[in-house]
Every structure is written in C-alpha cells, then in structure tokens.
Homo-oligomer: A and B are copies of this chain.
C-alpha cells in the first residue's frame, strides 16, 4: 500500500474513489478565504472526501505530510456522526495481548486474553507476567461492589434556608423525580438521589443503573429532566447540569466513597511457592514493597491513589476497548493491598470507580469492537448490564495482574540486593 501513491493518505476501504477534484479545489479556496469552515466540509463532501480534504488543508497550512493518519478501515460514516468531529484520520495505537488470565468473578468466569493498547514498552510484558502468576495460582477472584453512574446538577439558592428547603423538597419527591428521570430512557433505572449543600449551592447527585452503557449521556439527559423539575418547583436557579459532585474526570473522594460507574474488587491468594517460582522473591518482600510504597509513600505524598500503576492497565484496556480514555483517571485511585498469610500472601486491588460500557461511545468502532469480542463482551449483555459488569471484573483482574507483576519485580530486585548485601557482609 505504501507504494501505491494514489491511495496515500486514503482509507484502505477505498470508498474514496470517484472524487470530484474540481469541487474540491473550490472548497480549498473557500477554506483559505474563510468562507467555508473546516468543520463544515461534511456538509459539502462525502465523509471520506471531507476527511481527505481537511487533512490536505492541514498539510498545506502546517507544511507537513500526513501519510499515515489517513490510513484506516473503520466505518467513517458512523464515526463522523458519533465519535469525532473535524476528522483528519486516525492514530494507530499498538495492541498487545496479555493472558490467558483466569477470572473467577460473578460475571466473568473463564480464561481471557486482555487487549492492551499502549505505546509504552514493557507494559504488556509486565501484565502478561502477572496473568501467568494469577492463572498458575488458579485465577483471580473478582466482584462488583456497587454499580451506578452519576450526574450532579448544581443549583443556586437565595440563602441557606432556601438551600435546605430544596434539599427537603428533593427528599420528599424522590418518586416523582424517579419517574421523570426514567421517562427519558428505556434502559436506565434511577437508583439513588442524594443532596449536598455548600452554602447557597445545592448539588443533587442522581445515580443510575445504566445497564451495559457507560451511561454518562443517559444520566445526563435524565438529570436535565430532573433538574428542570427541581428548578421549577423550588425556585432554585439551575447553574450547571454537572456541578462536579458527580464527579467526572477529576479524582474525587466522593467517587471513592460512594462509588461511580462499576466498583470492582479483585484478589488472589498466592502460595509461598508460587511467589518464589514466578516472582523470584518472597511474600515478605512483596508485602514490604506494597507497604512502604503504595500505602506509606502515597499517604506521605497526599495521593488519592494507593497503588503502583493501576492507571496503566486501565488506560490501555480503555483505549483498546473503546472506553472514554479520560476515565482512566478513575482507575488511578485504586487501593492495592498485600496481606501476609500463613500460606503466602493475599493480594488485592479495589477500584471504587470504573466507568465502563460495552455499548455506545467508542465501543462500536471496528477495531475497538474486536477487542471487546476478544473478551466476549461486545454489545449488550443478557440480561442487560452483565456484559459491562463482566468487562469491569476482567479489567479489575487485569489491574491485579499489573500490580502483582510490578510489585513482584520490585520485590525481586529488593531481595536480590538484600542477598548481595548479606553476601558482602
């Protein structure tokens, strides 16, 4: 393909043929003189052409050659409508697999290969090593602790007395609000509504069971309805549909404590033998790395994350599986523990807030969908919600693999140094 000059920068699907070069040169002129905006190209051209023309324009404007960005196979009609505006092409993010990883969850039960999209060398190898350890030890336990996507509109009250009235009104009208919320969706169920006050600001945190969707859009639409009713009934001014007590894409204690998305925990009991054979270290060293690094180090740093590199696994699986990449933040608040036991060690990860879905968002793109299929979770589950929960359990187990591997590696170095020092002593 690289030697096929005519197709350079084009979709390999080839639907771009039959282009109207005259029309395009007119558009170039319009782009130059500002009478056509870059984002308006789809109005004039078929999507593939619009992307090509836009990319060509950027090439000219920036004096670059963008030959690889234009190579893709995904269904562009769909993408430009749902996933990305002003498109000029795609980036290729390498996908490696780690596994097989045995997971013994409530939803994920079996052996899985984890697709990890990353450009950071050693990550896949590291997770893979963790998967081996887990699988050799019989598999990772995994459980969903809580499930609910949230949105928290913020209102302005006139006074703290008014604010309290708003909170009381919400508490007294839960069922009305639930009806209003659920009228906007055929899938979701409102599971909770909690009100928080800070002076004259009133935050109404609405929680939804969004089934197999990650559900931010669903809960936002429902919240809009609910918020309108509250504003009407109480006279409080609706300031913003999201008042940051949701909390979306910011590390926040409220998500850690109340949960957001799927709250998942995974764990594994490792014998002394397996720690010694797989990780070339011992339980005590592995414990000490976790204790001084993940617990004391994080405490001293004022960190909200008590783990080694959970976000790496979450980000790589999120990108591979078409999840919202900015949600990898939630993975970073994982708590990793290593308990010493008579038999060896019990290692766990707790992810209080993992917003995942198997329908909607980026899950429909062909490559991302293929990654979901590798895990057997593409599309809606039966019953609804089971695919998303299964995905969450698998990611939890994957994070466990990543943590185990890095802790093991650090502990092995630590042990090696200790032996060396003793040898010198």
Contact of A267 among B67, B200, B203, B413 (CB under 8 A): B200
| Contact residue among B94, B310, B316 (Cβ-Cβ distance under 8 Å from A90) | B94
Give the nearest-CB partner of A418 in chain B: B237
Q: Which residues of B contact A269 (CB under 8 A)?
A: 159
Report chain B residues within 8 Å CB of A44. none
Query: Which of these, B91, B145, B332, contacts A167 with CB under 8 Å?
Result: B145
Given the interface pairs A297-B201, A299-B198, the reply to whether A91 lies near B368 with Cβ below 8 Å is: yes
| A97 CB contacts on chain B under 8 angstroms | 38, 54, 58, 86, 88
Across the interface, which residues of B come within 8 angstroms of A177, CB to CB? Answer: none
Complex CA gap A68/B76 in Å reads: 13
- Chain B residues near A380: list those with CB within 8 A: none
Closest chain B CB from A116 CB (angstroms): 8
Q: Are A300 and B73 in contact (CB under 8 A)?
A: no
Known: A1-B12, A145-B197, A159-B346. A68 touches B367 (CB 8 A): yes
The A contact surface, by secondary structure, is mixed
Q: Are A371 and B91 in contact (CB under 8 A)?
A: yes
Within the complex, which residue of B128, B203, B231 is in contact with A297, where a contact is CB–CB below 8 Å?
B203
The one of B3, B85, B300 in contact with A121, judged by C-beta atoms closer than 8 angstroms, is B85
Q: A250 with B298: in contact, given A1-B14, A94-B79, A239-B289 (CB under 8 Å)?
A: yes
Q: A319 interface residue, CB < 8 Å from B?
A: yes
A-B contact pairs, 28 of them (CB 8 A): A1-B14, A2-B73, A64-B373, A66-B374, A74-B94, A79-B119, A83-B121, A85-B121, A91-B95, A91-B117, A118-B362, A119-B362, A141-B161, A156-B288, A159-B269, A244-B298, A245-B301, A246-B301, A247-B298, A250-B303, A250-B304, A250-B311, A251-B305, A252-B304, A257-B257, A257-B301, A295-B299, A300-B350
Q: Does A13 contact B (CB under 8 A)?
A: yes
- List chain B residues, Cβ under 8 A from A200: 267, 337, 339, 346, 348
Chain B residues with Cβ under 8 A from A145's Cβ?
Answer: 164, 167, 197
Which residue of chain B is the closest to A302 with respect to CB atoms? B253
**Contact indicator per residue, chain A 302-330, by CB within 8 Å of chain B (1) or not (0):** 11111111111011100110101110110
Closest to A125 in B: B85
Q: Is the CB of B92 within 8 A of A164?
A: no
Q: What mask results when residues 10 to 32 of chain A are scored 1 for a CB within 8 Å of chain B, else 0?
A: 00111000000000000000000
Q: Give how many A residues have a beta carbon under 8 Å from the other chain's beta carbons.
A: 164
* B302 touching A256, Cβ below 8 Å: yes
Question: Are B199 and A349 in contact, CB atoms less than 8 angstroms apart?
Answer: yes
Q: Is the CB of B95 within 8 A of A88?
A: yes
> Contact at B2–A337, with CB atoms within 8 Å?
no
Q: B90, A92: Cβ atoms under 8 Å?
A: yes
A 63-89 to B, binary, CB cutoff 8 A, 1 in contact else 0: 011111101111000010111111111
Which residue of chain B has its CB nearest to the CB of A59? B374
A115 to chain B, nearest CB (A): 7
Kindly state the separation between the CA atoms of A335 and B72 in the bound complex, as whole angstroms: 37
Would A244 and B293 be within 8 Å (CB), given that A89-B367, A90-B95 are in contact? yes
Q: Are B73 and A92 in contact (CB under 8 A)?
A: yes
For window 163-220 of chain A, which residues contact chain B by CB distance below 8 Å? 163-164, 167, 196-201, 203
Minimal beta-carbon separation of A74 from chain B (angstroms): 5
Q: Which residues of B contact A405 (CB under 8 A)?
A: none
A247 cross-chain contacts in B, Cβ below 8 A: 297-298, 301, 303, 305
